[in-house]
Structure 1
Amino acid sequence: MSGPVVDFHGHLAVPAADALLAGSAGLAAELAAEQRGHSAASMDVNRAQLVRLRHALTDVGARLAALDAMGVDVQVVSPMPMHHYWADRDLAVRLTDTVNAAVAEHCAAAPGRLHGLGTLPLQHPETAVESLSRAVTGLRLYGVSVATSVDGRELADPAHDPVWRAAEELGAVVFVHPWGCSLAGRLATRYLGNTVGQPVETTVALSQLIFTGVLDRFPRLKLVAAHGGGYLPTYIGRSDHAWRVRPDARGCAEPPSAYLRRMWFDALVHSPRVLRHLVAEVGADRVVLGTDHPFDMGVDDPLAQLDEAGFDAPQRAAIAGGNALALLTEGRVR
């Protein structure tokens, strides 16, 4: 008999955190940047979606009903991307504490079915280390969600090394989820900022982490990439070629493809053929289910999509839940 079905990619809205930002210049600038990356039509759809999904994003009962309908037993819940990396230290700490407490409270309402990931003030690395410790050892969260860049700074920037070191020591998951696109206006048309831009952001972030040697320095880092890792697994051969022929690309100890088997990837790639390719590149033991619940770019039939890919029984069981449960629990500080 197979084990529980685990969705690694669900979202929670935290109105109390939004209230902390009301009227701030930083939020106004952030919203202006978001508008530059989307057409007016896309912004209208996004706003209407947030209104329509407000209950699904905040109510435990609604979440559990949706999971039951999808055939999902357990969901890993992370905050709807709301990192606000522009915030000064004081505001950043208040935001982080508010978000992480809300995630913990939400998940505590359904113990055994909901597991939480928090957020971090990565723009203040020393403070982020303290916040990570509080989240994991105090609130009993399983790790954190991070964006693909930090107010213009790469995740691979050495300033973040203390955070990755702490995550290793705590056995904490780091879920890399894009929010926005640095290509901005070039992809504003027809929702390309999300459709194309977000996978690009993930591809760049993971490539930076690989090529600069971050994963050599922190080989036990439990890094999970949303949306199948963007385009990186699909075109990893070019990265390996550059590593072989270009001395200036040789910032990591092994060919880049070797590091795909040191990360985990959610299965949210919207195509059985692409999912089969992802598994061929990274291994069936490195893929977890992901729905992006409850947003329209997600799926509400994760098991049907998994079955359509045609994996054998052990592979299916691993992707459906076994990998996620092992990832959450192995090496975790209790």
Structure 2
Amino acid sequence: MITVDVHAHVLLPEIEQAVAGQPGLAAHRELDARRNGPDALAVSGAMIGARIGLLTRAADRLAAMDEAGVDVQIVSPSPSHYHYWAGPELAADVCRLAAEGVAAHVAQAPDRLYGLGLAPLQHPSLLPGALDDALALGLKGVEISSHAPGRELSDPAYEPFWAHAAATGAVIFLHPFGCTLDERLDRFYLSNLVGQPVENAVALSHLIFAGVLDRHPGLRLLAAHGGGYLPYHLGRADHGWRVRPDARTCAREPSSYLRELHFDSLTHDPAALRELVRVAGPERVLLGSDFPFDMGDPDPLAALRAAGLADTSIRGGNAVRLFDLKDPS
């Protein structure tokens, strides 16, 4: 059975070179530092330094995949490359460099590596073009965060992007970066431990309640981190939809839309993973490790085995279908 990891990252130094010294970068870094706190930044810097080969060199990546029993990876840019503070011209350059950098990285092992580009959420009019550029380079879609400054994913300005993504069959990988709870999460690495699951839940809730999935039923959206907190507290959303007219803004109970989304398996808990499979359906969950970061899982197959799911389509078949992959065997 083919094993496909849909959640793996690459660092692209050329993007950071492009934004260096640009107006807005210093304020962005100051906000990031305030949200995470000094202890988290220090630990993260050392962690990334120790993994730089895995993040940049295809040979190191492939060796680690072999050790973990992974046949194929879907490689996306590190979310630190989003740079949603950038103006239109710089944002277009960032997305171009991301698409070109990922395409060059995965081209070193085209039978085992596939890629995703980036899309500038802060500039809705640029989104369809960025997606087209990524697809033209052979990538499978684009990665986005849970929001852009001043815009939730329910913003009507994104409608042309959702429509274009659905029409092209591209995969949109929803991967949060940064949480607007700010200094409330600036200790104990809560900015990630709590912030990322919150952002997933908020972003997916906006898409569901705003009717985005009603209007674009063909949208191929893959949520990182098992969808965050949303799949495990659906009863409250359904109850609110039933009793609150201001929440009855989608066609069906919110829980029903989980079977129209896709989720990676990165829950860090066998019971949580089994619950995700129960509410979303076994065909909607895909193996994901967050390679090679410390918040990821270096042995994602062990997580499937612990949940009793190692011999299911979650291991790879669902990813082959979603991303239209070739079997490397």
* TM band (smaller chain): over 0.9
| RMSD, aligned α-carbons | 1.1
Residues 167-192 of structure 1, C-alpha deviations (whole Å, 9 max, x = no match): 11110000000101110100111001
* Corresponding residue number in structure 2 for 1:322: 317
* Corresponding residue number in structure 1 for 2:303: 305
Shift of 1:323: 0.4
* TM-score (normalised: structure 2): 0.97
Q: Which amino acid aligns with 1:106?
A: H
Secondary structure at the aligned position of 2:73 is classed as: strand
Distance in 2 separating the partners of 1:152 and 1:189: 25
Distance in 2 separating the partners of 1:13 and 1:216: 35
Distance in 2 separating the partners of 1:192 and 1:211: 27
Q: Which amino acid aligns with 2:102?
A: V
Q: Is 1:217 matched up with 2:215?
A: yes
Secondary structure at the aligned position of 2:118 is classed as: coil
Match of 1:66 among 64, 88, 102: 64
Ranges in structure 1 where 5+ consecutive residues have no aligned partner:
none
Q: Is the 8 A contact 2:39 2:187 kept in 1?
A: no
Match of 1:283 among 264, 281, 284: 281
Secondary structure at the aligned position of 2:14 is classed as: helix
Distance in 1 separating the partners of 2:283 and 2:301: 17
Q: Is the 8 A contact 2:4 2:71 kept in 1?
A: yes
* Corresponding residue number in structure 2 for 1:154: 152
* Corresponding residue number in structure 2 for 1:107: 106
Shift of 1:112: 1.4
* Corresponding residue number in structure 1 for 2:131: 132
Distance in 2 separating the partners of 1:189 and 1:180: 14
Shift of 1:130: 1.1
Q: Is the 8 A contact 2:40 2:189 kept in 1?
A: yes
Distance in 2 separating the partners of 1:297 and 1:123: 27
* Corresponding residue number in structure 2 for 1:97: 96
Shift of 1:126: 2.1
Moved more, 112-121 or 45-54: 45-54
Distance in 2 separating the partners of 1:74 and 1:105: 16
Distance in 2 separating the partners of 1:14 and 1:215: 32
Secondary structure at the aligned position of 1:194 is classed as: helix
Alignment of 1:154-233 (within 5 A): 154-233=152-231
* TM-score (normalised: structure 1): 0.95
* Corresponding residue number in structure 1 for 2:243: 245
Shift of 1:84: 1.0
Ranges in structure 2 where 5+ consecutive residues have no aligned partner:
none
Moved more, 25-34 or 243-252: 25-34
Q: Is the 8 A contact 2:99 2:133 kept in 1?
A: no
* Corresponding residue number in structure 2 for 1:84: 83
Shift of 1:24: 2.1
Identity %: 51
